[in-house]
Structure 1
Amino acid sequence: MSTANRDSESPQNSPAPKTARGVMNCRPCQIRKIKCDRALPACGVCHLYQRSCFYEGVPKKRGPKKESLSALIRRIDGLEELLKSDKTPTPPGTDIITSDFPEPQVFGSGISEPCGSASSDISPFSNFRGNNFEASSDVSTTINADGLVDVYFTKFHRNPYDILDEFTTRQRLKANQLPRSALYAICAVATGFSERPGKGPSSHVSGETYAAWAQRDIDPCEVSLDSCQALLLLVAAFAAMGDGKRAYIILSQAVGMAMTLELYSQPSDGIQDGTAKRVFWTCYIMNTFVSTWLERPSLMDDSLIKADIQSSRQSSHNGWGTSNDFVTIPNNDFRRFSVSPKEPVDEIQKLVWMAQILSEANRYLLLSDTGSQAAYCQRHKILHDLDVWASSIGTSTDVPTESQGGPGMNIPLICRLVVHLIHCLIHRPILPLRLNEPSCVKMIQHWAVEATETAFRHATAILELVGQARETTNMPLPPFVGFCIFTAATVLNYGIHYAEEQIPEALAVNVAPFAGSPIPASFFASSRDLYSRSLDELSILSDTFTSARLYLLRLDELKSEHVALLNGKVTGYVPTFSNRFFQRYSPALLRRVQGFQTEDSCRIGSPIRLRVRAAARTSSSAPK
């Protein structure tokens, strides 16, 4: 065939019409993976080689799932409405503001200024007279302060953090005396609890934007109780977002401000002094929770809080609690540890005591070696402190119901969850990778038996408490509950593989039976169902908090890495007894669990949620 003939018969010079094109390459070109000009009735290649040219199927839709883009779509809708009205979502009282705040320690200049009243909506271009919003300014609906403040005090206040006084805050907001930084921080927290973020009270402004505005208006050199409260609110907001790096940095600033203000020495008399003392207690509780989550040292000395709880640290006359009593709390007279004996019983003081025990457990995990005799004694000291706490608190042991509603109703639940969390945290590092994993020391083998049984019982108790609370009250659960569920799921993940091994008697080889008998084979049978239940609980929380959605992703990654360990695909693994549980896995997984790598938040998954709910439906429809 001549060159001229080949050129005339090439796909580019094909006489076939090219006006009507298909939606995708023809099937022969797809199979051969060659370029197709998609001409009809036959493409140039098929016309050249005299093949049958046909099209079949519909091209797959590419890109992210629609569910993953729902929040972004809502934001875009809101921004389009703002553009139509020639308004932009800049913070009220400013004309120009940079939209990027890469580092949380970067603050704007100037002192926190009073914010406008919630009774009149705030315009993003409002003018100021004497640091207040001008009353005659043309207002818009950029911020619905009334709605977000109501959401905050309804769903977050004393749940469990007691940061603001409701009456004082509402009065200052009404009188235009509430600092802008505090209002923006309230909005950042409340936006997460809004039923429809982007179209609810937040008026198209995200929690991240509110947090950036609050950071901009806080002067770290201007030490005040208002700034300390705003920083604590930002810590809570970033923790709910799953951003551990920002939460820990801002927490360090809040702790430093609390120490500078000497809140630890404030007497509990008078409204202002009582508020300062509660802010200090909340700062201590938040410091303990965040430090435990991030596996970082505590930023506050426990001796500062021991003076407030010293009278309740006395040994209980009832002695040690029973080893099987993990859910109920023994009844006994309440031992007061408030400053004034005439002051009414306050649930947050019980939580302060429990946070102090959690702080000791976190220090033990950071500084101790699991296999030493000193670590064994330290674990028993922590367990003894838990028994003293359980025998010294109030007489009520039931989860609060809706009839007992109001601020603080979830604090008893949080206290009991922390009890089970401490047991899981201090016993989880001793869990063997396999039931028949050898141990060189008989005593350590006995500790493995004890830790395995205790950790699984308390992981089950966490899920039972969360399920019971969800059935008996409509009060939303705080983000810290997601960390408790995640910790329980990491323990239950081991039980799934223990049950598949079916070698429970290996735990009792050359070991005196623990608690009268070795762990039976049926002990781990329910681990798979409980693990699915924990995923379901996190899925429910993920509708409100980004951190819960991140925990779902982390559990999926941890399960994959655990299977790789069991299959021997990870080289260099040696059975060690380290209190750093996540040292068994990749360092990248630990950083993502702690929220120091948040670049994958955009792919938080509706597929996982669909799998969880499908598994839940399957288990519920299974014959019993």
Structure 2
Amino acid sequence: MSSSDGTAADASWERSDGRSRPPPTVNTIRRIRQACTNCRHRKTRCSGERPRCMNCRRVDRVCHYEPYSTTNPPSSASVAANNGAAKGKSPSSLFPRAGVVDISRLPLATRKSRQSSPSHRLLSINIRLPPPSPQTPFPTCQVQCMRFTTAPPPAVMDHLIDAYFLHVHNQPYSYFHEQSFRERVNYGLIPKCLLFAILASALKFSDIEYFQGSIREATEAYAREAWLAILHEHLTVENNPTLAERTLTLLTLFYIGGRTSSGWLKIGLAVRIAQDLQLMREPKNTMPPIEQEEHRRAFWSIYLLDKLVSVGQSRPPAIAEEDIHVQLPSDEETLRRGIWKKTPTLHQLINWKSETESSVNGTFTQTILAATALGRCCRYVLHGREMDEMPPWDPRSDFTLLNTFLLLIDHHLQVETPSIPQIVEHYRRPDGTLDFQSLEHVVFARIVFHTAHCLLNHPFLLRMRLQKSNCKVPPKFLTRSFQISCNHARSISSLVEDAIASGCHVQSSFYAYASILAGGILSLAIHIDQEKGQVTDPETLNHYQKAIHILERTGRRWDHASKMVSLHCLFRAIL
């Protein structure tokens, strides 16, 4: 029989009545005619149920089915043409679009031949399209949800990676050597979980037109995809858990701004993974210097996050200082050059008898020192630690020891000098641009230092502790402690304002907590003056307004900051 006869016979059989077809046997495999978009992207078996398949119901995900003609696999001729067009392309042009054809990046001749070929309709279904216009007849929410389950186009990807290293990296968390990370992206060596976590982190600082009107949806979708990739690809199998640990800490930054409990749980998981990977110890010297430094920075970023989140009530830190044996991060210039450098450990640096240099060169180390002091103060003030038998004014008390430790941190950070404008000029490059990856740490470390002082001397927290001790309080103790807290609250507002005026980013979510703490202390001082019938110092009023302005500014990017603004306004209305 000829080929044409066979084709005609097949077509005739397809048109015949269903009763003439042979009945299926008992062991015949039931094939799903069409899988949903999510299952096709993940290459998982789809149950084909409508309106939601079994996999989408299990993870509570939007389930979307495309018309059947768009789910047919491309013909072998189409695949061959696609492979031929990809020859000569660099890995960077192929990576995020694995299995996706971008017609606009093909040569002109190839584009014309594709558009005129019958297979073009099948190949063009996965082209990245711009956001649908208001006149689009399809459901916009469904289209956008599906659009954000895969990597964006190359130009958008490059923009978001640039935004990550400009606004997120080293502000204050640090995970990567920038140049080697970009090379790994170009060669497709960054797994989906880590890549999508970076996209979710960077989107808060992006205004690219591709996400216009759907930044929140895209951010949540990328974070969700990163979390699902961790569960499916890294936590359920032995598959490089280091990537899962870094992804978890990045996701924590996303969730901690709105869903604190979810972020808190992810921190705990990241800490356990870090302990299991022995990140708290020095990496093997057989590793390249860049990988060793990324190993250290991955741990210290988890440590930093663990300490900063401990400012929440009943959320004690999970990492003990005595369990840490890895050396502190190197300075940024050493990291960029990719060379190894000996640095002290945390234990060596927080010891008064240490022979290490009095000044700390690495700006990331300054932040770690300040966060260590904050963690100790939070454990003493907030986390229900057993009451110190010594009253706080006793030289042997924990309160006095903490003040002594803060004096040591002040010695390392040189908090009072130089000023912020002088620091900014120190980190200005010859071309006039600022080295934000070094500069932001210096500002952040000082804000954390003053926050620790505000917590330790907070009038409410200190009075609550003294009420439990049932001891006679010296008349001047509370007055002096309150004055110390007010001074450091003013320092927070001044530092942040000077940093903003000097061109610093000042975008970390922690600034919301620091500003509401400072504003609350200054508001209390103003209220006390009103109760006494005294005129409030204009400087106090000015610093209070600065603190509220900082909180409002932070609330433009972080949900928890905007909630703080609303609660503060309500509190002021009640007073």
Could you say which TM-score interval applies, normalised by the shorter chain?
0.5 to 0.7
SS of equivalent residue, structure 2 residue 458:
helix
User: Which structure: greater helix fraction?
Assistant: 2
Q: Distance in 2 between matches of 1:99 and 1:547?
A: 30
Q: Could you tell me which amino acid in structure 2 is paired with residue 502 of structure 1?
A: K
Alignment CA distance shift 1:489-1:394 (3 Å): closer
* Correspondence list, 1:141-290, <5 A: 142=147, 143=152, 144-195=156-207, 199=211, 205-219=217-231, 220-222=235-237, 224-239=241-256, 241-267=257-283, 270-290=289-309
Alignment CA distance shift 1:350-1:203 (3 Å): closer
- Is the Cα–Cα contact under 8 Å of residues 373 and 409 in structure 2 kept in the other structure? no
Deviation at 1:171, TM superposition (A): 1.5
Q: Distance in 2 between matches of 1:100 and 1:458?
A: 50
Match of 2:405 among 385, 392, 402: 385
SS of equivalent residue, structure 1 residue 387:
helix
TM-score (normalizing by structure 2): 0.64
Alignment CA distance shift 1:333-1:216 (3 Å): closer
Q: Which residue does the alignment assign to 1:358?
A: 374
Deviation at 1:313, TM superposition (A): 2.2
Deviates more, 1:153-162 or 1:269-278: 269-278
Q: Which residue does the alignment assign to 1:140?
A: 128
Q: Could you tell me which amino acid in structure 2 is paired with residue 494 of structure 1?
A: L
Q: Could you tell me which amino acid in structure 2 is paired with residue 407 of structure 1?
A: Q
Q: Distance in 1 between matches of 2:41 and 2:536?
A: 62
Deviation at 1:125, TM superposition (A): 8.4
Alignment CA distance shift 1:346-1:190 (3 Å): same
SS of equivalent residue, structure 1 residue 537:
helix
- Is the Cα–Cα contact under 8 Å of residues 198 and 206 in structure 1 kept in the other structure? no
Deviates more, 1:158-167 or 1:423-432: 423-432
**Aligned: 1:544 with 2:557:** yes
Q: Distance in 2 between matches of 1:537 and 1:292?
A: 19
Q: Distance in 2 between matches of 1:445 and 1:92?
A: 72
Q: Which residue does the alignment assign to 1:304?
A: 323
Alignment CA distance shift 1:386-1:523 (3 Å): farther
4+ aligned runs moved over 6 Å, structure 1: 88-92, 99-103, 201-204
Deviations 1:457-476 (A, max 9, x none): 11111000000000002434
Q: Distance in 2 between matches of 1:92 and 1:204?
A: 25
Deviation at 1:372, TM superposition (A): 5.6
Q: Could you tell me which amino acid in structure 1 is paired with residue 161 of structure 2?
A: V
Deviation at 1:351, TM superposition (A): 1.8
Q: Distance in 2 between matches of 1:496 and 1:186?
A: 43
Return 5+ residue gaps in structure 2 as ranges: 1-35, 44-52, 62-89, 102-122, 130-146, 327-344, 429-433
Alignment CA distance shift 1:92-1:381 (3 Å): farther
Q: Distance in 2 between matches of 1:424 and 1:289?
A: 14
Q: Which residue does the alignment assign to 1:401?
A: 424
Q: Distance in 1 between matches of 2:349 and 2:275?
A: 24
- Is the Cα–Cα contact under 8 Å of residues 427 and 455 in structure 1 kept in the other structure? yes
Alignment CA distance shift 1:172-1:486 (3 Å): same
- Is the Cα–Cα contact under 8 Å of residues 119 and 174 in structure 1 kept in the other structure? yes
Q: Distance in 1 between matches of 2:498 and 2:511?
A: 13
Q: Distance in 2 between matches of 1:91 and 1:445?
A: 70
- Is the Cα–Cα contact under 8 Å of residues 92 and 125 in structure 1 kept in the other structure? no
Deviations 1:166-224 (A, max 9, x none): 22321121111211010110011111111369735987843222111111100334452
Q: Distance in 2 between matches of 1:255 and 1:268?
A: 20
- Is the Cα–Cα contact under 8 Å of residues 373 and 449 in structure 2 kept in the other structure? no
Q: Could you tell me which amino acid in structure 2 is paired with residue 401 of structure 1?
A: V
Match of 1:422 among 429, 436, 452: 452
- Is the Cα–Cα contact under 8 Å of residues 492 and 527 in structure 1 kept in the other structure? yes
Q: Which residue does the alignment assign to 1:480?
A: 510
Q: Could you tell me which amino acid in structure 2 is paired with residue 348 of structure 1?
A: F
* Correspondence list, 1:100-111, <5 A: none
TM-score (normalizing by structure 1): 0.59
Deviations 1:413-470 (A, max 9, x none): 111111110111111144799xxx9x98542543311221111111111000000000
SS of equivalent residue, structure 1 residue 206:
helix
Q: Which residue does the alignment assign to 2:106?
A: none
Aligned residues: 415
Q: Distance in 2 between matches of 1:235 and 1:489?
A: 26
Deviation at 1:121, TM superposition (A): 8.7
- Is the Cα–Cα contact under 8 Å of residues 459 and 482 in structure 2 kept in the other structure? no
What fraction of aligned residue pairs are identical, expressed as a percent? 19
Q: Which residue does the alignment assign to 2:532?
A: 502
Alignment CA distance shift 1:336-1:273 (3 Å): farther
- Is the Cα–Cα contact under 8 Å of residues 186 and 233 in structure 1 kept in the other structure? yes
* Correspondence list, 1:5-16, <5 A: none
Q: Distance in 1 between matches of 2:39 and 2:377?
A: 42
- Is the Cα–Cα contact under 8 Å of residues 162 and 278 in structure 1 kept in the other structure? yes
Q: Could you tell me which amino acid in structure 2 is paired with residue 189 of structure 1?
A: S
Root-mean-square deviation (CA, aligned residues, Å) is 3.9
**Aligned: 1:93 with 2:23:** no
Q: Distance in 1 between matches of 2:556 and 2:527?
A: 30
Q: Could you tell me which amino acid in structure 1 is paired with residue 511 of structure 2?
A: V
- Is the Cα–Cα contact under 8 Å of residues 185 and 214 in structure 1 kept in the other structure? yes
Q: Distance in 2 between matches of 1:432 and 1:458?
A: 16
Q: Could you tell me which amino acid in structure 2 is paired with residue 283 of structure 1?
A: I
Q: Distance in 2 between matches of 1:91 and 1:478?
A: 36
- Is the Cα–Cα contact under 8 Å of residues 347 and 412 in structure 1 kept in the other structure? yes
Deviations 1:49-102 (A, max 9, x none): xxxxxxxxxxxxxxxxxxxxxxxxxxxxxxxxxxxxxxx996993488749967
Alignment CA distance shift 1:309-1:335 (3 Å): farther
Alignment CA distance shift 1:170-1:250 (3 Å): same
Q: Distance in 1 between matches of 2:511 and 2:194?
A: 25
Alignment CA distance shift 1:432-1:182 (3 Å): closer
Q: Distance in 2 between matches of 1:99 and 1:148?
A: 31
SS of equivalent residue, structure 1 residue 266:
coil
Alignment CA distance shift 1:431-1:301 (3 Å): closer
Q: Distance in 1 between matches of 2:236 and 2:537?
A: 55
Q: Which residue does the alignment assign to 1:468?
A: 498
Deviations 1:547-591 (A, max 9, x none): 321221232344456x3xxxxxxxxxxxxxxxxxxxxxxxxxxxx
